[in-house]
Amino acid sequence: MQEHLIIFDTTLRDGEQSPGASMTKEEKVRIAWQLERMRVDVIEAGFPAASNGDFEAVKAVADSVKESTVCGLARAIEMDIQRTGEALKGAQSARIHTFIATSPIHMKNKLRMAPEQVIEQAVKAVRWARQYTDNVEFSPEDAGRSEIDFLCRILELVIDAGATTLNIPDTVGYTMPDQFGKLINQLRERIPNSDKAVFSVHCHNDLGLAVANSLAAVMNGARQIECTINGLGERAGNASLEEVVMAIRTRQDYFPCDTRIDATHIVSASKLVSSITGFPVQPNKAIVGANAFAHESGIHQDGILKHRETYEIMRAEDVGWGANKLLLGKHSGRNAFRARLTELGIEFESEEMLNSMFMRFKELADKKHEIFDEDLYALASDEVIVQHECFRLVSLIVHSETGEVPYARIVISENGNEMHAESQGSGPVDATFRAIESLLNSGAQLQLYSVNNITSGTDAQGEVTVRLYKSDRIVNGQGADTDIVVASAKAYLNALNKLCSKLERAHPQI
């Protein structure tokens, strides 16, 4: 009988700490629903004490997710833990994750605390957290570079104080798989009360070893892996959820445990995170890259046709490739539309919102005959944008002709008041952005502009991501349309709306 391996997803917390990957409350809730649909055991939704915005986002996730445990991160400080406890009040199942650094380099230079003070603070933190929930995780930050005797002492005491999960982070991605596996083994052997807690690992990918280190830990008794969709995370990222889950699932002959993840939702989760953060997935990325199941060489194709397993160890459909079935078209009615949204877990705030989405679906079906699930996700996020933003695109005319200077004429409404502008540019997108800037004068710096097709074919919707930087804030804006210049204008306005919002999204350095 296989043991259960807990999947702890930290896309919304460590993933969000990646520069430029900051998410709004609504975006976090959408990703959380997708993680819940995938049957992720624990969703780390954010760092509530970091900002009011993050507090509200963690609260919104805690209030709306029912099947997964919702977790919030807190430094080993009473105020952080209180805030986290408050944010998680509405969760069906809540976990507080508290941490303090234990490596000599962090204790001396960052915390400026003696090892005994660190132990004392860690124990207090776990006790504070236990006042809110009996599900408490403790992490000795930079465990990969900490002294094992010290780790054994602090971990024994936090278990006594009530920690139920001990997470061992390789914070700087420094350890080697063999070494990390041994560390987990020794901790389990040497800590007298180690059987009272679940051992977890949290590996960073600075040397490209995050997944290998996590799997080595599993072979040595770890029963929780912390990971992120697409491997998003600080610097080179965290262990990628899809790689961890599929390695364990594909090699059931090797691993003593399995996850309860429904892998058929992996590709949609990857696309959702990529579109919200604006971080594209490299084509050769394992599991979720566009080429992960593509066979180019004749020898491989021939082998696959004769017997699939000659070159394929997993089936593309098992991770959700090709699952975007054509279900709706121009003649589909409102009920079929509503039913499909419900099946996909797309929620609408009111009947008015559903009606507006239905109208836009009909418009889209006129331009693009086949509507896929991905189109519906894009339509839903566009609708959220339309309902909540103060700057909206009313109309856009662009002219581009060989040998002529492109220009754009745009109408934008600001809280219902229409404003007109026109501008020339080096191309139609440049002209459009200049026209918007001539009206709104944001002074923001464009850091990234990317276009992806949501589905295949030249009639597909293009999804544009725009990243803007202003006064220490970085925001991503998205827009989707079958016309990529219109999608670009929507994405630019979406980013400006986020810059104007009062939500503070800064993360304190930890």
Residues that bind ligand KIV (CB under 6 A): 14, 99, 139, 141, 167, 169, 171, 202, 204
Ranked by CB distance to Zn ion, the top (closest) residue is 14
Selection from ligand KIV, Zn ion, none that 505 binds (CB < 5 to 8 A by kind) is none
* Per-residue tokens: 319: 């991770």
Decide: 92 and 61 in contact? Cβ < 8 Å: no
Residue 398 CB, nearest approach to Zn ion (Å): 43
* Between 144 and 221, CB nearer to ligand KIV: 144
Query: Scanning residues 11 to 50, which ones bind Zn ion (CB under 5 A)?
Result: 14
- Shortest Å, Cβ 171 to Zn ion: 6
Q: Which does 18 bind (CB under 5 to 8 A by kind): ligand KIV, Zn ion, none?
A: none
DSSP state of 191: S
Q: Do 45 and 58 meet the contact criterion of CB atoms below 8 Å apart?
A: yes
Output the furthest CA–CA distance in the chain (Å, rounded). Answer: 78
Least spacing, CB of residue 458 vs ligand KIV, in Å: 43
Tell me how far, at minimum, the Cβ of 13 lies from Zn ion, in Å: 8
Q: Which is nearer to Zn ion, 101 or 364 (CB)?
A: 101
46 binds, among ligand KIV, Zn ion, none (CB under 5 to 8 A by kind): none
CB-based contact 128:155 (threshold 8 Å): no
From residue 387, give the alpha-carbon distance in Å to each of 276, 349, 394, 499: 18, 10, 14, 17
* Whether the Cβ atoms of residue 199 and residue 224 lie closer than 8 Å to each other: yes
Binding segment (CB under 5 A) for Zn ion, from list 8-16, 285-293, 401-409, 461-469: 8-16
Of 14 and 36, CB closest to Zn ion: 14
What 3-state DSSP class applies to 240? strand
Please list every residue from 270 through 289 that binds Zn ion, using CB under 5 A: none
**Which partner in Zn ion, ligand KIV, none is near 99 (CB below 5 to 8 A by kind)?**
ligand KIV
Closest separation between CB of residue 257 and ligand KIV, Å?
22
Residue 89 CB, shortest distance to ligand KIV, in Å, is 22
Closest approach, Cβ 304 to ligand KIV, in A, equals 40
CA distances from 390 to 387, 417, 480, 499 (A): 9, 10, 18, 11
Shorter beta-carbon distance to ligand KIV: residue 57 or 364: 57
Q: What DSSP letter does each residue of 378-395 carry, written as one string?
A: HHHHHHHHHHH-SEEEEE
Residue placing its CB nearer to ligand KIV in the complex, 111 or 327: 111
Q: How far is the CB of 68 from Zn ion (least distance, A)?
A: 19
Instruction: Region of 181 please: left (phi>0), alpha (psi -120 to 50) or beta.
Output: alpha
Q: Hey, which residues does 69 pair with through a beta bridge?
A: 42
| Residue closer to Zn ion, measured from CB, 28 or 271 | 28
CA dist 26 and 91 (Å) reads 17
Give the integer Cα–Cα distance in Å for 84 and 95: 9
User: Which of Zn ion, ligand KIV, none has residue 80 at its interface (CB below 5 to 8 Å by kind)?
Assistant: none
Q: For Zn ion, which is the closer residue by CB, 204 or 271? A: 204
CB count, 10 Å around CB of 291?
11
Q: Among candidates 98, 173, 101, 106, which has minimal Cα distance to 141?
A: 101
Q: Give me the least distance between CB of 234 and ligand KIV, in Å please.
A: 7
166 vs 357, which CB is nearer to ligand KIV? Answer: 166
Please state the closest distance from residue 141 (CB atom) to ligand KIV, in A: 4
Residue span binding Zn ion (CB under 5 A) among the ranges 7-15, 41-49, 250-258, 339-347 = 7-15
Query: Which DSSP category does 111 fall into?
Result: I
For ligand KIV, the closer of residues 12 and 485 by Cβ is: 12
Q: Are 432 and 485 in contact (CB under 8 A)?
A: yes
DSSP string, 274-316: HHHH--PPPTT-TTTSTTTT---SHHHHHHHHH-GGGT-SS-G
Q: Binding string, 285-314, against Zn ion, x = CB under 5 A?
A: ------------------------------
The total of other beta-carbon atoms located within 10 Å of residue 474's CB is 20
The entry of ligand KIV, Zn ion, none near residue 285 (CB within 5 to 8 angstroms by kind) is none
Q: Residue 151 or 344: which CB sits closer to Zn ion?
A: 151
Minimum separation from the CB atom of position 238 to Zn ion (A): 6
Binders of Zn ion: how many residues, by CB under 5 A? 1
Closer CB to Zn ion, 333 or 508, in the complex:
508
| 141: partner contacted, choices Zn ion, ligand KIV, none (Cβ within 5-8 A by kind) | ligand KIV
Q: How far apart are CA 248 and CA 258, in angstroms?
A: 6
In angstroms, rounded to a whole number, what is the distance separating the alpha carbons of residues 434 and 492?
11
Query: Nearest to residue 396, comparing CAs of 292, 507, 487?
Result: 487
Return d(Cα 226, Cα 132) in angstroms, integer.
22
Binding interface with Zn ion (CB under 5 A): 14
